[in-house]
Amino acid sequence: MTSRILAAFLVLTGGLIVGALLPLGFAMAAQHRHDYQSSTLEAARALASTAEEGIEDRDGAATLPHRLATVRREIEGGDQAQVEVVDRKSRIIAGRDTGLYTPARAAVGLRGQTRVSELDGRLLAIVPVGAQDERVKGAVLLARPLAPLRERVDRLWTRLGLVALAAVALAVALAVYLAGWVGRPLRRLGAVAEALGAGELAARADPPRRPPEVRGLAERFNVMAARLENLIYDSRAVLADVSHQLRTPLAALRLRMELFAEEAESGGREADAAEFEAALEELGRLSRMVDGLLAVARAENTTTPPQVIPVTGLLRDRVDAWRPVAAERGVRLLLEPGEPLTAMLGPGRLEQAIDNLVDNALTATPKGGHVRIGARRAGHRIHVTVADDGPGMSPEAMAEAFRRFRTGRAGGTGLGLAIVHRLVTAEGGDVTLSETRGGGLTVTLDLPAGR
């Protein structure tokens, strides 16, 4: 936001400089040039008036250089000015060594014309002498250096440049102040939102006094945070009640069914015993489904601050825990070697996700197959993979795999991958399914790397 406000102020200031300051500078420079030309022309006319008295008078001609020098000293920068006077026959009366005279230049004044032009870094003014009497007696050529004019114009542009720099500096200062004025409460609000998302449900924003829009945003954020806190606490209470209300009667029902099955088997009622065993299997499936639903609900409603989780060590522990189960089913459970890696996750999330994935993989992999678990770094992310040699999944089944109760396996609940997806996405990660090379399914967990 600071860069955008700064860019807007700089564009506005640049527009003002280009649209107002530059035209003003050009106009003032042109005015300085016009004033210098006008003063040069006036000085040349004053010299012509002085020269008129002695241009045709021999006695006056003798004192003419002295009088011209007196008038020249009154001109700005007169010490560097050069004057040359010619009579109507183009004879040089004064200023013979100036080098200003040429027949063409003298002819301009002798024709009664006035001209101002630049000549070799000087401003040359040519005026006639005695033109007011309709009889031109001669011409005056006055050359003044352009250096004073250029210095004046340079000072003008320097001052305008300083004004422009001051305007830019003021714009930058105002932009930084305004960005801080607006951005500081927004950054504080962002920090509170991050804390709320990390599980600090009691986090609240401190509404600033100004600007009023940010204050209103902070107040509405606090209302939202309070409602979210109430919803999460209510959801946790419901989960606790459901866990107690469902698991207890299911456990009691399972115990009664097991007793009935034992009585039927001891009484020789083989048919009844078989029915009870089938009912027990369905009851076990119902218990697993309830546990899965509760796990999904917990994954969706639990907000715990992320911690640095040692991924490599955790995978080694889970492989050691599941290896006896894999050996019993005739499946080799392998951990691929890799560098020590860490991820930012809530405590217990990755263990639960890996357990669900390994359970699914061992169930789907036939006897003699392999289940491989590995982890690698991908930039600022950690990729954890669980690959099996089972039958795999079709593209259509993969698209539906994270939806609840979608299963292609007999006796499955369709909740394992749904639980994994909820657990990982709640931590800012992602889950993807792909085909294992040679057949099977590979599940990849994309997790944020540990700081």
Q: Are 111 and 137 within 8 A, CB to CB?
A: no
Name residues whose C-beta falls within 8 Å of residue 372's C-beta, 6 or more positions apart in sequence.
334, 335, 336, 385, 386, 387, 388
Residues belonging to the chain? 451
The residues that bridge with 387 in the sheet, in sequence order, are 372, 442
pLDDT digits (tens, 9 = 90+) for 316-342: 988 988 888 889 889 999 998 888 899
With tokens 């909740």, the residue in question is 415
pLDDT for position 386:
92
pLDDT attached to residue 74: 63
| Bridge partner residues of 83 (DSSP) | 142
Q: What is the pLDDT of residue 443?
A: 92
**Which residue positions in the chain have pLDDT lower than 50?**
410-411
**In the prediction, which pLDDT does 375 show?**
92
pLDDT of 301 reads 54
Determine contact, residues 199/21, Cβ cutoff 8 Å. no
Q: What is the pLDDT of residue 411?
A: 47
Do residues 126 and 111 touch, judged by C-beta distance below 8 A? no
Give the pLDDT confidence score for residue 442 in this predicted structure.
Answer: 92
pLDDT at 19: 84
383 closest CA partner among 394, 374, 396 = 374
Quote the pLDDT of residue 93. Answer: 80
